[in-house]
Structure 1
């Protein structure tokens, strides 16, 4: 199953935000920044990545159900969903 970029735009935005947060964490650690701030940013990045993953899978499930894809496609999406849980 292939997803169009437009279908996963919110996930792309979340991943870009997480990318910026990770860059900030690296910069903080390299510059000897505040540990609490670094961990807070790291937690935010982790949450953004998780949400992006769930969003991508949800979009895939919607498309899968709308297109009546095979049971194998649905099983694969379920497996991907469980890998994020």
Structure 2
């Protein structure tokens, strides 16, 4: 079971809202809206995706990594390395 299983519906709702935002941005470009207005909406969509990513990461750390750490061994090391790599990807983006 994934760490986000308990919040799956909330994540899907947020992602659908973000999907609508992105479609709105595409329409703004198609309608030749002012650059700064488009950039503002891109920034909002980016922030929304970052918030989803942080929530998923928090769920992963609290469930998958915590469980693996309690068990110890190679699995714990693997999960911690996996979480570190995910954090690094988020920080670089």
TM-score, with length taken from structure 1: 0.80
Other-structure match for 2:62: 62
Structural mapping, 1:1-80, within 5 Å = 2-63=2-63, 64-66=65-67, 68=70, 70-80=76-86
Q: Let me know the Cα RMSD of the aligned residues.
A: 2.2
Asked which structure has the greater CA Rg, the reply is 2
Structure with higher helix content: 2
Residues paired across the two proteins, number: 85
Unaligned residue ranges in structure 1 (runs of 5+):
none
Q: How much has 1:55 moved relative to structure 2?
A: 1.1
Where do 4+ consecutive residues of structure 1 move more than 6 Å? none
Residues 25 and 42, structure 1, Cα contact 8 Å, conserved in 2: yes
Residues 10 and 52, structure 1, Cα contact 8 Å, conserved in 2: no
Unaligned residue ranges in structure 2 (runs of 5+):
none
